[in-house]
Structure 1
Amino acid sequence: MRRDDHQRRLSQVHHPWFSRAYILTQSLLESIVHPWRAQQGQRALGKTLIIGAGTGLDIPTLSQNAHEVTLLEPDPTFYTFLKTHYPAFSCLNSPAEQIPLDDASIDTVISTLVLCSVQDLCQSLQEIWRILRQDGQFLFLEHVAHDAPWWHRVQNTLTPLWEKVGGGCQLNRPTLLALKQTGFVITDLSCPHQGILFPVVQGRAIKPRPVQSHQETHH
């Protein structure tokens, strides 16, 4: 696939039935997720970007140390919801694979149940890496591939159908491995939910400063 065709495909994120249903039923999921989301939001500091902002549920949880908060949301239904309910916030209608922000311009990136549905996990993480400043933090709360081989095979089997009904969500994303391969250093990690199909991980990853060579330190 040519690069321009790939970029055009990435920009077309639209799941109207799922998005409308989520808006109507979000309180059910949030009754489970909110305590974890709140812990994550309280760790935000500095210039903050929320990717896949959805209906803005991360916003009320943010620490007072977070400022210049920007919302990134590619889905038109969610984007319209955000513009209506949070008009004071800067909102960008772009996917995580194409973040329209400058290099090293953000202190904190937050994702909550987002990386399961991005179209290109590796590219999304590379974009997050690009916009984060050195020592910047990525706060994530995501459901991931199961560690147990049998249940991982079950996830693999169900994912094609689940992806169609779940707004592009994939059950078998190797998110932690992809974070490490991108270069992130995971400094904090927990598993608040040991579900069979939806094991959830919560943590903090940083973009470390480049390691200076011995020669450079003596110049």
Structure 2
Amino acid sequence: MGPAHIQPALRSRDDRLVSLYAPVFTAIYDPLLAWGERTGMRDLRRDVLSGATGEVLELGAGTGLNINAYPPTVASLTLTEPEASMVKRLQRLGGHPRVVQAGAEDLPFDENAFDTVVSTLVLCTVEDPDQALREVRRVLRPGGRLLLIEHVRSSRPRLARIQDRLHRPWRAIGYGCNCNRDTIEALRNAGFDTTALRDARWRRMPAIVRPLIAGSAQAA
């Protein structure tokens, strides 16, 4: 839902409004997600990120909710985040992760630079998910994995229709978040094996963003 990679819906129409909204969204993001974190999302983060190994890149790290979920198998951690207000928040966290201001569609790293790429609630918000996934494949080493938790278009027709109807207002409220994005299809189109992904639920959140996919995807 995206602080993780904020690409504001209003940017092209009113940059000034967006620039004013960005620090507000940064400040309220964690409280907005608090119920979901307490009722399962925090545990889901730890479960998925337990598979992170070696040199790790996190896309759209937002306020740093994943930081404490990384296991000792991580040799180094690089956090990317496009929004300046989020970058400042990450830099205040301390510790040793490297923080780089960058969007997922244009990663400033060499090919085959990372063993693991992490995306949690990011692909719902990027302007061009296909380009973002091409970049993930580019920076992943052979045999590397994409670990992800993403809310997605529902497989239930009735809820999917509701997601379609509420897409535009939700995108404005959620600062660019797309509640009806078919991320599984995007992953497959990008050449990722999705068989290790599983369905999950984002409890205590609005119904249109409750359907989740979680787990690992490997370049086929």
Query: TM-score, normalised on structure 1?
Result: 0.84
Determine the structure 2 residue equivalent to 1:29.
Answer: 36
- The alignment of Structure 1 onto Structure 2 pairs a total of residues equal to 199
Distance across 2 between alignment mates of 1:52 and 1:30: 18
1:204 aligns with 2:207: no
| Larger radius of gyration between Structure 1 and Structure 2 | 1
Note if contact 1:187-1:206 (Cα within 8 Å) is conserved in structure 2.
Answer: no
Query: TM-score, normalised on structure 2?
Result: 0.84
Q: 1:86 to 1:26 in 2, by over 3 A?
A: farther
User: Secondary structure at the residue paired with 2:141?
Assistant: strand
Distance across 1 between alignment mates of 2:195 and 2:72: 22
Question: After the TM superposition, which residues 60-139 of structure 1 pair with which residues of structure 2 at under 5 Å, given as runs?
Answer: 60-86=68-94, 88-139=96-147
What letter corresponds to residue 28 of structure 1 in structure 2?
W
State the identity %. 34
Q: Please say which of residues 39-48 and 21-30 is displaced more in the overlay.
A: 21-30
What letter corresponds to residue 142 of structure 1 in structure 2?
E
Note if contact 1:50-1:111 (Cα within 8 Å) is conserved in structure 2.
Answer: yes
Measured after TM superposition, the shift of residue 68 of structure 1 is: 1.4
Calculate the aligned-residue CA RMSD, in Å.
2.1
Instruction: Give per-residue Cα distances to partners, 1:62-110, cap 9 Å, x unaligned.
Output: 1111121000111111110001113522111111111111111110011
Determine the structure 2 residue equivalent to 1:6.
Answer: none
Distance across 1 between alignment mates of 2:128 and 2:51: 26
Measured after TM superposition, the shift of residue 190 of structure 1 is: 1.4
Question: Which stretches in structure 2 are left out of the alignment for 5+ residues?
Answer: 1-11
Determine the structure 2 residue equivalent to 1:20.
Answer: 27
Q: Please say which of residues 142-151 and 20-29 is displaced more in the overlay.
A: 20-29
Distance across 2 between alignment mates of 1:193 and 1:88: 32
Distance across 2 between alignment mates of 1:48 and 1:55: 17
Measured after TM superposition, the shift of residue 194 of structure 1 is: 7.5
Question: Which stretches in structure 1 are left out of the alignment for 5+ residues?
Answer: 1-8, 209-219
What letter corresponds to residue 27 of structure 1 in structure 2?
A
What letter corresponds to residue 43 of structure 2 in structure 1?
P
What letter corresponds to residue 98 of structure 1 in structure 2?
D
Measured after TM superposition, the shift of residue 31 of structure 1 is: 1.2
Distance across 1 between alignment mates of 2:202 and 2:79: 29
Measured after TM superposition, the shift of residue 29 of structure 1 is: 3.1
What letter corresponds to residue 170 of structure 1 in structure 2?
N
Higher relative contact order (CA 8 A, sep 6+): 2
User: Secondary structure at the residue paired with 1:197?
Assistant: helix
